[in-house]
Amino acid sequence: MKPYTDDELTQKLGALSEPFKPTQEQKGTMHQSVFQGKNVRTKRRSLQWKPAFVSMMMLVSIAFIVTILIGKPNSLSSGLFAKDVTDSWEGTLMTQQDSFEVTNYSIAFDGKTMHIQNNYMGESLMGTDQSELEIRVASEDYQAKLAKMTLQEGDYENYTVKKKKDFYTITVTGENNFTYTLEKTAPRQYVGEDGIRYSVNTYID
């Protein structure tokens, strides 16, 4: 190591006592390292909480939808939570208990076929003192009301009956597809979605 003279040593000590003054290049380097590092940390933190937030929102949405479906036994999606009781309805005969303007149904479940018969005989069509025009008008009114009913006369194959609590949904597929929901009000008593009351000939699941 090269020895310093007294003058050189005094000069070096004087330089150390002066405050540090970084150059412009040093200032730029320090500024870049500090602020870029901060931005990287902020981005990493934002990326960490976003997937967790999205996952939580999806779980809440799914739970909300499932709650709605469970709370609506008459909904079309109730089949997801219903029990298939089609086999237990084999040989069952349902009979309408009160007149309902244009219907007097009897519904028979025979094997894979459901038979619907309407035994209604309207008083407005049976009067002998009515004119031909009155009979025609009454007949047209009857047909218009009957066409709006869910249940229509006929033989329907490949039906299913699904149960959820006290609700039973009859589903018919094919060209004349429809669904019809009944609520069990007593061991052998049911009420249809249209308000029609039925009794059955036997105890069924």
pLDDT-above-70 percentage for the chain = 64
The amino acid sitting at 160 is T
In which region does residue 36 sit, left (phi positive, over 0), alpha (psi from -120 to 50) or beta (all else)? alpha
Region 49-53 average pLDDT: 67
The total number of residues shown for the chain amounts to 205
- Which pLDDT value is given to residue 127? 56
d(CA 169, CA 86) in angstroms, rounded, equals 10
- Which pLDDT value is given to residue 16? 60
In which region does residue 97 sit, left (phi positive, over 0), alpha (psi from -120 to 50) or beta (all else)? alpha
Spell out the domain ranges in the chain: 7-69, 77-200
- Which pLDDT value is given to residue 63? 65
Give residue-wise pLDDT tens across range 153-179: 999 988 999 999 999 999 999 888 999
Give residue-wise pLDDT tens across range 55-87: 777 777 776 665 555 444 444 444 557 899 999
Tell whether the model's pLDDT for residue 3 goes beyond 60: yes
pTM comes to: 0.58
Average pLDDT value for the chain: 78
Q: 175, 178, 200, 174: which is closest to 187 by C-alpha?
A: 200
Give residue-wise pLDDT tens across range 85-100: 999 999 999 999 987 7
Give residue-wise pLDDT tens across range 25-50: 766 676 666 555 555 455 555 556 56
- Which pLDDT value is given to residue 75? 46
Region 123-139 average pLDDT: 70
